[in-house]
Amino acid sequence: MTGDENSRTGPLAGVTVVELAGLGPAPFGAMVLADYGADVICVDRPSKASGAPIESARMGVSNRGRRAITVDLKSPEGVQVICRLTDSADVFVEGFRPGVCERLGLGPDDLCDRNPGLVYARMTGWGQTGPWAARAGHDIDYISLAGPLAHIGRADQPPTVPLNLVGDFGGGGLLMALGVCAALVERARSGLGQVIDVAMVDGAALISAPMVPAYLGGTFTDQRGTNMLDSGAPWYDVYETSDGGWLAVGAIEPQFYVELLDGLGLAGADLPDQHDRDGWPVLRDRFAAIIGARTRDDWEATFDGRDACVAPVLTYAEAADHPHLVARGTYLRPDGVVQPAPAPRFSRTPALVDRPPVPPGYDTDEVLAAAGFAADEIAALRATATIA
């Protein structure tokens, strides 16, 4: 992988992002921007600079695509370094609690007054405003308050925590990246940047847009595991196979349901109607007994080429080697590290993984020199521990 910023070909090539290092959603969103070709400069604390070789950071996939520098944000000199970097940047990303950047002297008024075209993205859990804005929280809390968690899980079981995909990465990082792209499009018309208030609680609610009206209209109940898409329907669920694997069944439409029954050897069998809820327990028992008698690979072969909406449930390691995903390049192995490829696919300006994750501070001198800092300025900043 190369580090030549001029060679980047993604749709955001030429866009410069200054990112204050953090955890979870903001780094993930910045990774997406980097995948799309943006030059992302990640700013971490000098104490994080260890001088470790580049190989030590290779597993930090969400840090791919960055140039990494270290700056002491608590010193006036360090704040001025960030101000100078953002003077010529397009995007600024921070994931602190509300008010922290203002106290550092790096709030929107500080940076956007200097650079009116700056898109300033703020990632938090609860948002910049509201009575909960200053509270601590994590993904599980945001999706709890926003509503999704109450509806995820099986019947007569507690809500199931869906990893931290809904709040952190879907409702957080991805929406941040989308918001940045939208603000850049608008800036092309107005010439002005703006502040983006990215709250994971908002994003978790937005992801629920198709479900909320169904719930409020009574077609989607608050009884987990009893609805069509929450494992309530026997033809939209997962079933254990004889080898301890799992098979996912999603045969909603009637033509796919016919193919499912045929593949299971149930064509023409005396069964309850597909949408007869009273008959769902009967269907579930029949499906479970049949699927449980054979291995996952057997069932994958049986349904190969059939439009039955059936797929094996794969681990990440297995998914990386599945023929379909291999053919599409859905997973990559740069430097031997398995990781998802950029998505979606662009026909003319392809997104690339062309810069490996690097340790904090790896590119400090290069970035500052490119931003116009003289060699003696860089030396003076290092002498005062403003950079490392």
| Phi, psi angle pair for 92, to nearest 5° | -125, 130
pLDDT of amino acid 365? 97
Binning pLDDT at 50, 70 and 90, where does residue 8 land? confident
In a domain, 172, yes or no: yes
How much is the pLDDT for 222? 87
What pLDDT does residue 52 have?
Answer: 86
Whether 98 is in a domain gets the answer: yes
Residues 192, 306 within the same domain: no
* Whether residue 136 sits in one domain with residue 44: yes
Degrees to nearest 5, angle at CA 94 with 103 and 131:
65
pLDDT at residue 5, rounded to an integer: 61
Higher pLDDT among residues 1 and 204, named by residue: 204
At 307, which CATH number? Answer: 3.30.1540.10
| CB of 168 closer than 8 Å to CB of 201 | no
> Which residues 6+ apart lie within 8 Å of 156 measured at CB?
225
**17 is a domain residue:** yes
Q: Is 195 within the bounds of a domain?
A: yes
> Mean per-residue pLDDT for 154-173?
97
d(CA 225, CA 242): 24
Q: Which of 87, 138, 222, 243 is catalytic?
A: 138
Crossing angle of the two packed helices 175-190 and 200-207, in degrees rounded to 10: 100
Q: For 101-146, write each residue's pLDDT tens digit.
A: 999 999 999 999 999 999 999 999 999 999 999 999 999 999 999 9
Does residue 218 fall inside a structural domain?
Answer: no
**Can you tell me the mean pLDDT for 218-226?**
89
Percent of the chain with pLDDT over 90: 93
Dihedral sign computed on CA atoms, order 85, 178, 61, 64: negative
Q: Are residues 99 and 27 in the same domain?
A: yes
Considering 307, 328, 349, which residue would you say is the last residue of a domain?
328
DSSP annotation string for 285-307: HHHHHHHTTS-HHHHHHHTTT--
Residues 323-349: pLDDT tens digits? 999 999 999 999 899 999 999 999 999
Which domain-ending residue is among 328, 345, 371? 328
**Could you tell me the pTM of the whole model?**
0.94
Q: Are residues 188 and 253 in the same domain?
A: no
pLDDT at 152: 96
Q: Which of 44, 90, 139, 168 is catalytic?
A: 168
Mean pLDDT of 276-282: 96
Q: What is the mean pLDDT of residues 302-309?
A: 97
Domain that holds residue 302: 236-328
Note whether 162 and 37 are same-domain residues.
Answer: yes
**Same domain, residue pair 52 and 187:** yes
- As for how many domains the chain has, the answer is 2
Query: What's the token pair of residue 255?
Result: 């033509």
Please give the structure tokens belonging to residue 291.
Answer: 């699927």
CB 129 within 8 A of CB 59: no
CB count in 10 Å sphere of residue 133:
16
Active site residue 324: no
Domain final residue, candidates 308, 328, 348? 328
pLDDT digits (tens, 9 = 90+) for 187-210: 999 999 999 999 999 999 999 999
* Strand 195-199 with 119-124, pairing: parallel
The answer as to whether 149 is a domain residue is yes
Please give the pLDDT value at position 2. Answer: 38
- Tell whether 318 is covered by a domain: yes
Residues 245 and 172 in one domain: no
- Can you give the CATH number for the domain in which 153 is found? 3.40.50.10540
Mean pLDDT, residues 66-91: 98
Are residues 252 and 296 both part of a single domain? yes
225 part of a folded domain: no
User: In terms of domains, do 139 and 180 share one?
Assistant: yes
The two tokens of residue 367 are: 């970035």
Would you call 304 a catalytic residue per the annotation?
A: no
Max CA distance (Å), the chain: 85
| In a shared domain, residues 162 and 253 | no
Dihedrals phi, psi of 138, to nearest 5 degrees: -135, 175
Say yes or no: 83 and 50 in one domain.
yes
For residues 271 and 337, state if they share a domain: no
d(C-alpha 54, C-alpha 33), whole Å: 21
